[in-house]
Structure 1
Amino acid sequence: MITWRGALAATMLLGCALLVALPVAMGGAALEQRLGAGPVAVTSLVARFLPHQFTITLGQGREALVRWRQIGLNWHWADPDWLEVNLAGLALDPLPGQHGPQAQLARGQVRLRLTPLLRRSVVVGRVTLDGLEATLPASMAQPAQPKQPAPAASTSATPSKSNPPSVRKPSSAHGQKGWHLDLSAFSTLALTHVRVQLQLAKGMGPTTPLLVSTPQLLVIHGGGTGPASGGDVWSGGGHVMLAMGGQALQAKLHLETVLAAAGAQSAWVGAPEQTLWQLQTDPIVPARLAPWLPQAAREALSPWQVPVAVQASGLWPSTAHGGQRAQATVQVDLGAGHMLQDKAPPLHFHDAHVVVTGSWEGGLAFRKAHINLPRIHFGMVDSAGRLVPVDGTGSMGWDDLQAGKAIELDARATMGEAHFANLLSLWPKGLAEGGRRWVGGNITAGTATGFVLHLHGKSAPTQAPGDLFGNVNLTTLEGHVHGHGLTVWWLRPVQPITGLEAEGVFINPNVIHIPLGGGHMRDGLGGFINVPKGDVLLTALMANTNYGTIKVDLNGHLPGVLKVLANRRLNLLSRYHLPLSHVAGDVKGQLKVFLPLDENVTMGQVGFNANVDMRRVQARAPVVQSIKDGQGKLHVTSDWMAFKGFAFMHGLPIHMRLWQNFDAPAPGMVMARANLRALVTPSALRKSGLDSDGHFTGQAAAETTVLQTHLGPKRNNLDIGLSLDLTKAGLLTPVWRKQAGVPAYSSAHAVWEGGHLVALDHLAADGPQLHVRGKAILLDNEVAGARLVPFDIGQTRAALEGLWPTAHHPERTWEANLRASVFDLAGALQPSQGPQKNPVKLEEEHPRAKPTPVQLPAGKWNVRLQADKLLYRPGVALGHVLATMAWDHRTLEQAQLDLESPYPLHARLMPDQRVPGDRTIALHTSNLGGVLNVMGITPLFQGGQTALEGRFHPDSMAVGTPEDHLGVGLGLMPFKGHLQVRHFDYVPAPKGKVTGGKAASGPSALAPAKATKPSDWFSGLNLDVDSEARDRVLTISNGLVENDLLGGTFKGNVDLGTRAMALHGTITPLYPLNSWPGRIPGIGWLFAPEKNSGLFSALYNVHGALNHPVVDLNGWALLLPGVLRLMLPH
């Protein structure tokens, strides 16, 4: 139940509410009427909570001071969600002490949506600016300075010198997010009298500022009037002026809303509206604008020092009509200029004209697009000033430029005639850079014609969304170019190939193939090497490092090709010197080079490969001297060299295989191998200057193997083995023989370490009656001797050790020590067992033939031979033989000969210790005739106990060299001695030419009656004789030969040089009785005027050559006893 009091209270409350609401409603209605009538100045009201100036943050720690003069608001009930803010006298200045942008705005209007402001979002609908003057100083491009503390706030709103202006930032509630700008509803931009000036910092670019201005620019979005307008159309236009350094250009923009063609209506009723836009610019050099642009644009435009003019037009459909595509046509014209390149000459242009047409979906999002380039023309200028036209076409399409995964492009190009010498000035850097560097730097002459190029690319299947251009793969790269009269430096500084014809072919995006043909190159010796064909293969062009493979065929003369291969740049034969001189021959081969096409390529990265086929090779080399009719194949790479071939070396046919390692050596690594094989025949020996003279028949296979192994720094091991297969050879030597077909072998082995000989061993020979094993004796890495352990050669069973001087020890004595159980000397003394050519009988020799003296080897020698059995002649053996000789300076110093059987013989030549320089000789044997017979000297003597005593004494009066005295050499001095032989027989009796009487008056007529046979006259003989030898004349004196029946004296001279003799003497029958009167003291000379003659003696003379003596016997002297014989001529 409502009481009156309750009703009264309610009435009073209602009345109070009406009293409050009525004024508010009346005020709101008045405000709405005022706002709708025009802008309301709210400057004083805003100043209550927002000062006339405050600071804002520009980013990167920079702050600016914002000042304003008047703010007005405009709102209308017909569009209640939009509020217009009018500004006047707005200014932006940097804080004191800082550098920043400056701006002055005379008038401006911004249309904002009200509701988003409650969510701290600024939604802008329209912007109108009039009278904007702005300057962007260099500080905008510099790193931000540390933030300075803001000046203290002041209650005064008017700045003064004594009281700085009050600065206060707008406050915000704690925990609220920041304000953000939203342009999704933006519809109109109107600019009038806008000027923006950009000024770069010192050292960052031009000092002259860039002025961007527009007298009027109006762009309206939406507002279409067509029946199917979606509102997403544009209209308007204006001018934009650029001025810099006295140069000005103008860009004209025109936007117009038009109806699309009837065929583009899609499902909409009526014709949808589109925006027709047109843009035209005056020519401008992009590089001049680059300093004021963002980093990416700056890097793209900075190189272009060429004027560019653009004319473009297109249709921009409303986004409300999904079936429509944006369209554009752009025509770009370039004037004369150039494009800079990093670390490369600039590209120069005479003119260029490019037409681009395209269509796409999604408006500014460029969702699905396709672009055609129906015409591309560049008039390029090479470094010689020649105009080279480059023309082409292209196309490109993608599914979504912002988040797409598929892109496809295609381009075709042709180029006019160009010169390779200037190619680098036409080839853009970075396009197949390795190929560009190699072709431009190594093909230095010639012309290129018929250049055609086609490329096609797609995005990778695994393309990340939004990274369309980051991973485009070229799927097709085709084309070709012809080269004429090229000069190709295929590997500097090796001589170039000139006069080449070539055709460059793009095999795929990674490979360019350049076949070559018809060229030649100088060989460095005054001649040419023909290059009938070759090719260059450039690979990995899409990778960071490109590679080149160069192959050339070479035909020429061997000296020139070897000189090319020995070039240090090739790194082939320069690492292994071929010790050849006087080289001749023909060569046909191929050289291959593989290298990275990089500026910093090293020799270790370059691969080489050469195959050379050699014919008719002639040369000279150490050891083998002459090389003739050689042929073979040489294969050389960066890692190794191999040769297989054949040649006549010093007349011998040699098959050889050689291999040399060029790799960096490691311990145990094989560095070289060699194998040489020769088939030795008598004819081959004759060609080499050796004549086997029937001692060698058939053929022998010789082989030499060489193995070089690395041991360590500067230390190599060289192992050499030699072998000789004598199976098919027939051999006839003084001490050993074999028939062809009987196996026989010989071998040797040597080792060098670090260039020093460390072993010479495995000296071996095996065959019928042949078994030899031995090794060399080394001293300080030199061969100082040899030792053969007990060996068998024919009938010889012996051991031999020899020593000799070396380069480090030249003072050493030559020594030879042979110890044999059986030593076969018979073959050596009778070397020829076969038929003799033109045998000469002894008696046919020239009577005055001069013998050749024996000249001892130079140096100091000791020779010793000890044999239990010495085969001296066939069927004759000497037992227990000891022979020694020692000489120095070719002079025999001492000698010894001891023989025990079949007849003892002892001979000594010794220095006389009492008389320096003298040498004494003594010889003793109990059977001189037997010794002479065994040794094959003469069989005319039997028996005879012999003693020879003598002396070799230097004589300053002697004429000639020491070798002249005896005529036998051995360096012996003038000799004096006495020979005594007892009890020997002479068989048979001598025969001679008798003059001055009949045969009956000869010695046989004087024989006593008791002589029953002629041999009795010459048995039981005794001999005594003195002799002296000097100046190659042997003087005999006091010679006496006698027995019981006969006695004879002799004396005279024997010329050892001419082998002539002149002897005379007496023959005394019944010598013991007949010679007695001559021994009577004092008067004996009356009975025997010749010493040791008799009372009755015959006279004789022997003269003429030793091998043809003439004996004159005067038997009538027997009739004149004693001194009466002196009346007869002697």
Structure 2
Amino acid sequence: MALPDPYSPGPFCLPRHLSVARWVCIALMAPVAAAGAAGTLLLWKLAHGPVDVTSVSRLIEPIPVVAGKRPGHPAGRLAWSQLRVQWQPGSGGISAGLMLEARGLTVTRLDGTIAERAGEADVVMALAPLLHGVIAPRRLRLQDVSLVLRRQSNGDIDLDLPAQKHDGRGVPTQMDRLAAIDLRNVSITLLGLPDGQSLLLGPIEAHGQRLKVAATSEDYLWNGWWHSSVRVGSFQTVLSAKGGQTSSRMGQWHLTSTPFHPGGLSVFNKGLANWDLPITVAADMQVVPHRMGELPSSLAIHLMLGDGHIRQDSEGAIDLRGGEAQLNLRMGTPGVQGPAALAVPSLKVTIADVHGALTQVQATAALTVDELKHPHVLDGDATATLDGFDFATLGNVWPAGVIKGGRKWIVANITNGRGHDLEVRTHVHSNDGPKHIRPTSMDGQLLGDDLTVHWLRPVPPATGIDAKLGFDGFDTLVVQFQHGMQATDSGGIEIADGEVRLGNLYEKGPTTGDIRTHLKGSLPAFKDILSHPRLHLLSQHPLPFTDPAGTVDAHARLTLPLTAHVQDKDIHVQAKASFARVHLGNVLMDHAVDDASGTLTATESGLDLTGDGRLTGIPVHVVVNENFRKGAPNRILQDIQAKAFLDPLSAVRAHLVPAGLFTGHATLSAHYIQHASSLADLALSLDMERAGITVPVWTKPVGEAAVATGHIAFRGHDMVALDGLQAHGQTMAIAGRGVTRNGKLNGIVVEGFRLGRTEGSARIMLPDQPSDPVHIALDADPLDLAPLFDPATRKAVHDATETATHEAGSPDASGKNDQGWSIDVHAPHVYFGPKGMVGGVVSHLEIRQSALVSGRFALDAPSRVRAVLADTGQQQPFVLDVDNLGGLLKGLGLYDRIGGGVAHVDGNFLREKAGSSGLGLGLPPFRGHLEIGPFEFLQPPFTLTAVSDLSPLHWTQSHMDRFQVKHVSTKISLEGRKLTLHDGTIGNQALGATVEGPVDLDTSVVSLHGTIVPLFGLNALPGKLPGVGHILAPEKGGGLLAATFDVKGTVGQPQMTVNPLSMLLPGVLRKIME
């Protein structure tokens, strides 16, 4: 059958141009229709099950998923073994989406190695976001997945693809549409952690669904469970979570862990390396639904602590024996933004010290923040309690990071004792975030018993202290203590009370220590403490006193920064003390102070002392200022002002003056200044206005102004000058200076002096050796010795001496002056009375142990007199020659009825004989002989001339106005100021006499008795006959016939009586009748 020609016209043939147009339309519409038919078929297939598109996907496989550093070289490429696609209709308010099912997923690196693997991965992606290039998964299921991630140096976490480009951009992803998740055997490894560590999370098993809280609600909550292990180095635990909706407005999740050791997480925080103990965590979190999301509302965490240790830097580890803690976090509004409150309602731990003793610690806390995610304002309270602990092991109980400044000092310096009943309450606040949170108030207490406290090492510690620890403000720890003892080499010091204040606990800078204490003890013990080199007080400025004794009541304060190395300049010491019954030796010239009392203040800059005591029995008031500061060489280091109040009794007992020297009171003022250049000055002043002075040659009554001054200069311990020696008064003027040699006083030069009528100069030279005598050279013109010869003055001196000696008692033998003296006197004119004067006096005396041992004496007017005293050991020979006895006696005003006469005395002062001669200067009794040459007895008594008339052979030589004496010869003895004549003979050719009897040198009373022998030449012959001479003339130098006589009265006014009748009794009969 033939076919019709399509180009030939038929019954319905169209025009040719229309026919062409028809075929053009058919050609254009056919692909569209075919595509539509194919799309309709694909949609029908997707709606009824997954469609395997593996073959088609090979055209685009592998897909670059991570850009590389070089264009065209991706760092990661995604490939799969199977890929299926399925349409997932919407349900439960969740929009429809496209589900991809992939098997055998891999991500290969640029070098071809596999970086990531996934056995199965199913994901449903929302269609609308996907059309905009955003991945928004609705459902996710992963199985047999191994992901390897790497932490970058900037903290970002990416796939472990070394060649990837880090431009900060990635595939946009939205997870808020995720409604279901199913994870099985998923492992995630995180590389790039510090120290080459890695974190392994998995295998992870999880299932969860986001469900509507109500049919008509637009809010969803997750419901499901999660289980995974976590490994980082030695750290390992298994975390489990389960939760879901609990009400229409609330959901809850419960999280638990298996026990783990946080030390394994030190890769994230180095401090965790110190935690070597197991911890178990259980947490409950409540969430509030918010559309497709959920917001946390509260979190409760319960921690269980096992036995273990918490190591501390440079400190002993804390031995933890279990514990638990509860932490609660409640948001003001659901979510991580807005205010929140954190509470620790309970924290209980048990800590063991190195000896195994257990301490129970409990704490609570509460904290509020204005913004949980980025807090600025924080405010909270905390409390802590301890039941008891041993201070020796406190470092094992007190964490090193808690009140670091206070802990460091207490742990290091309270080394023994028992603490108990600790309770601490604090309030913290910050307006600038957590880093600036600080306590604003703190209180509480801790009781300590029998503590040992090192208040400044290496000073010996205080022991036996009872203490109470508390707070003063938020940054000051206060330790109040009492009942302690400070040990020293000289005994203990009682610590009555005190406190230690540790300040600046939280501010920048070192913690400060302020130690105050009240101390009681002996002066030697305090001297030991103040002399410790660590205090830089008496160790650098020692006191020169010896044998200290007495009691001290002191308040001391020590402030210093509590740093590892405290510099001396940062240590500040303050001490205030009162002392009583104090004894100090070698205070002044080897003399001691006794019964002293006063006050003392001391700092590292100086020392001030005010006190009263007795210096060798003399009341003394002292003010001392010591300067410890450094500075110019001329600065004053020591300033001492002292006043001594002299009274007769104390001065005698101190051996400063002989008994009877003065009455009343005198004040000695001394001002000592020592410079840093080792130079020192001592100014002395003696006020004698209220003193009456009585010496043998001069007196000053009470009330008459008189003052003496002097100045001494020192270089170190050497005396370099003594000058300004002056004394002024109504009858006194003295000016002098000292002579120094080799740092010692060598002598004193009195350039001029006036005492009453005495004027002159003197030189005193001190010996180089203690056994040598002191040399004194006195030049006086005139020299007033009249008081020595005035009985009233002598009696006054004697009475004053006796009274003072009686009141002072017998001084110790050690106080006697055994210094030797060598004295030279030159006095052209010497007063011996109100007007009487002698001239040309020159003497030299040697005195040892207060006794005159030898000497020479010369007098030129009114008569030449020479005397010599020698020393032969047991005896002291003495010789005296007077050229004109009558002239001497008349010139001395003693007796004017003798003319002429040469006198000679020789004898011995007998040391072996007990007693004294009475002449003073320690001279023993004297035995000797007196010879007087021819002299005249002027204006003789009538009885003497009458008796001489009995010698008619010598009438031509007899005169009424004078009686000539040819010679006088007598033995004399001097003992106890009594001169006694023995066997004395007086006479001439016409008349002879015998005489004997005493003369009292104190009262000048004479009591002589003798005989007068007329016709002496003939009458004395019977007494010389052998055998019967003593019977005929019993008196030595007497005669057969003689008249007895007596001389009574005084030396100046003798009264002579003669008994003429005695001549009628010859010889021995006359002696018997006497």
Structure 2 matches for 1:96-115, cutoff 5 A?
104-107=117-120
CA contact (8 A) 1:862 1:885 kept: yes
- Corresponding position of 2:401: 430
- Corresponding position of 1:709: 675
- Corresponding position of 2:257: 281
1:213 to 202, 224, 229: 202
Alpha-carbon distance between aligned partners in 1 of 2:377 and 2:564, rounded to the nearest angstrom: 36
Alpha-carbon distance between aligned partners in 2 of 1:169 and 1:646, rounded to the nearest angstrom: 92
- Corresponding position of 1:609: 574
- Corresponding position of 2:307: 336
- Residue 229 of structure 2 is aligned to residue 241 of structure 1: yes
- Residue 426 of structure 2 is aligned to residue 450 of structure 1: no
- Corresponding position of 1:1079: none
Offset at residue 386 of structure 1 (A):
3.3
Letter in 1 for 2:357: R
1:521 to 482, 485, 492: 485
Residue 1008 of structure 1: SS of its match in structure 2? Answer: helix
What are the superposed Cα offsets for residues 859-905 of structure 1, whole Å, 9 maximum, x if unpaired?
A: 99986544453324442223465667899999999978574x545x4
- Corresponding position of 2:364: 393
- Residue 79 of structure 2 is aligned to residue 90 of structure 1: no
The 3 A distance-change label for structure 1 pair 523 and 70 is closer
Alpha-carbon distance between aligned partners in 1 of 2:402 and 2:74, rounded to the nearest angstrom: 47
- Corresponding position of 1:643: 609
Residue 508 of structure 1: SS of its match in structure 2? Answer: coil
- Residue 285 of structure 2 is aligned to residue 313 of structure 1: yes
Letter in 2 for 1:194: V
CA contact (8 A) 1:583 1:620 kept: no
CA contact (8 A) 2:831 2:838 kept: yes
Offset at residue 776 of structure 1 (A):
0.7
Offset at residue 831 of structure 1 (A):
9.1
The 3 A distance-change label for structure 1 pair 832 and 611 is farther
Letter in 2 for 1:633: T
In the alignment, structure 1 segments of 5+ residues that lack a partner are 1-6, 58-62, 145-167, 262-273, 840-856, 912-920, 951-958, 971-978, 994-998, 1026-1038, 1050-1065, 1072-1096, 1101-1106, 1109-1114, 1117-1130
Structure 2 matches for 1:76-475, cutoff 5 A?
88=104, 90=106, 104-107=117-120, 129-133=142-146, 179-180=169-170, 184-185=174-175, 188=178, 191-196=183-188, 212-218=201-207, 226-230=215-219, 233-242=221-230, 249-257=237-245, 259-261=247-249, 275-287=251-263, 289-291=264-266, 293-294=267-268, 296=269, 298-300=270-272, 302-318=274-290, 326-360=297-331, 365-460=336-431, 463=432, 468-475=433-440
Residue 179 of structure 1: SS of its match in structure 2? Answer: coil
Q: How many residues align?
A: 950
Alpha-carbon distance between aligned partners in 2 of 1:379 and 1:858, rounded to the nearest angstrom: 81
Offset at residue 969 of structure 1 (A):
14
1:1005 to 944, 951, 956: 951
- Corresponding position of 2:754: 792
- Corresponding position of 1:634: 600
RMSD: 6.5
CA contact (8 A) 1:68 1:88 kept: no
The 3 A distance-change label for structure 1 pair 528 and 788 is closer
- Corresponding position of 2:1020: none
Letter in 1 for 2:838: L
Letter in 2 for 1:581: D
With 176-185 and 372-381 compared, the bigger mean Cα shift is at 176-185
CA contact (8 A) 1:124 1:182 kept: no
Offset at residue 787 of structure 1 (A):
2.0
Alpha-carbon distance between aligned partners in 1 of 2:511 and 2:309, rounded to the nearest angstrom: 27
Alpha-carbon distance between aligned partners in 2 of 1:112 and 1:989, rounded to the nearest angstrom: 172
1:827 to 787, 809, 813: 787
- Residue 870 of structure 2 is aligned to residue 875 of structure 1: no
- Corresponding position of 1:773: 735
Residue 835 of structure 1: SS of its match in structure 2? Answer: helix
Offset at residue 239 of structure 1 (A):
0.8
1:758 to 709, 720, 744: 720
Alpha-carbon distance between aligned partners in 2 of 1:133 and 1:222, rounded to the nearest angstrom: 29
2:899 to 924, 942, 950: 942
Letter in 1 for 2:719: L
The 3 A distance-change label for structure 1 pair 864 and 1010 is same
CA contact (8 A) 1:929 1:939 kept: yes
The 3 A distance-change label for structure 1 pair 888 and 611 is closer
Alpha-carbon distance between aligned partners in 1 of 2:518 and 2:792, rounded to the nearest angstrom: 58
Alpha-carbon distance between aligned partners in 2 of 1:591 and 1:439, rounded to the nearest angstrom: 20
Offset at residue 234 of structure 1 (A):
3.5
The 3 A distance-change label for structure 1 pair 320 and 638 is farther
Alpha-carbon distance between aligned partners in 1 of 2:216 and 2:134, rounded to the nearest angstrom: 34
The 3 A distance-change label for structure 1 pair 1099 and 82 is farther
Structure 2 matches for 1:848-863, cutoff 5 A?
none
- Corresponding position of 1:533: 497
The 3 A distance-change label for structure 1 pair 564 and 28 is farther
Offset at residue 13 of structure 1 (A):
16
CA contact (8 A) 1:41 1:70 kept: no
The 3 A distance-change label for structure 1 pair 42 and 305 is farther
The 3 A distance-change label for structure 1 pair 1007 and 525 is farther
Offset at residue 425 of structure 1 (A):
2.3
The 3 A distance-change label for structure 1 pair 428 and 302 is closer
Offset at residue 398 of structure 1 (A):
1.0
The 3 A distance-change label for structure 1 pair 356 and 76 is same
CA contact (8 A) 1:803 1:813 kept: no
Offset at residue 230 of structure 1 (A):
4.5
CA contact (8 A) 1:307 1:336 kept: no
The 3 A distance-change label for structure 1 pair 245 and 319 is same
- Corresponding position of 1:268: none
TM-score by length of 1: 0.67
The 3 A distance-change label for structure 1 pair 440 and 249 is same
CA contact (8 A) 2:67 2:164 kept: no
Alpha-carbon distance between aligned partners in 1 of 2:27 and 2:698, rounded to the nearest angstrom: 156
Structure 2 matches for 1:651-690, cutoff 5 A?
651-664=617-630, 666-685=632-651, 688=654
Alpha-carbon distance between aligned partners in 2 of 1:685 and 1:888, rounded to the nearest angstrom: 23
- Corresponding position of 1:1034: none
Residue 634 of structure 2: SS of its match in structure 1? Answer: coil
Offset at residue 399 of structure 1 (A):
1.5
Structure 2 matches for 1:927-1076, cutoff 5 A?
927=884, 929-931=886-888, 933-934=890-891, 941-943=898-900, 984-985=935-936, 1005=951, 1007-1013=953-959, 1018=964
What are the superposed Cα offsets for residues 1053-1090 of structure 1, whole Å, 9 maximum, x if unpaired?
A: xxxxxxxxxxxxx999999xxxxxxxxxxxxxxxxxxx
Residue 440 of structure 1: SS of its match in structure 2? Answer: helix
CA contact (8 A) 1:665 1:671 kept: no
The 3 A distance-change label for structure 1 pair 862 and 328 is closer
CA contact (8 A) 1:497 1:531 kept: no
Offset at residue 332 of structure 1 (A):
1.5
With 999-1008 and 476-485 compared, the bigger mean Cα shift is at 999-1008
Letter in 1 for 2:369: W
Offset at residue 471 of structure 1 (A):
0.6
CA contact (8 A) 2:107 2:114 kept: no
Residue 348 of structure 2: SS of its match in structure 1? Answer: strand
Offset at residue 833 of structure 1 (A):
0.7
What are the superposed Cα offsets for residues 770-816 of structure 1, whole Å, 9 maximum, x if unpaired?
A: 12222211223221222223222211222333334447xx9999654
- Corresponding position of 1:545: 510
In the alignment, structure 2 segments of 5+ residues that lack a partner are 1-16, 89-94, 156-160, 800-816, 871-877, 922-929, 971-983, 995-1011, 1018-1038, 1043-1049, 1052-1061, 1064-1074
CA contact (8 A) 1:477 1:506 kept: yes
Letter in 2 for 1:330: I
The 3 A distance-change label for structure 1 pair 311 and 143 is closer
Residue 1009 of structure 1: SS of its match in structure 2? Answer: helix
The 3 A distance-change label for structure 1 pair 923 and 548 is closer
- Residue 80 of structure 2 is aligned to residue 70 of structure 1: yes
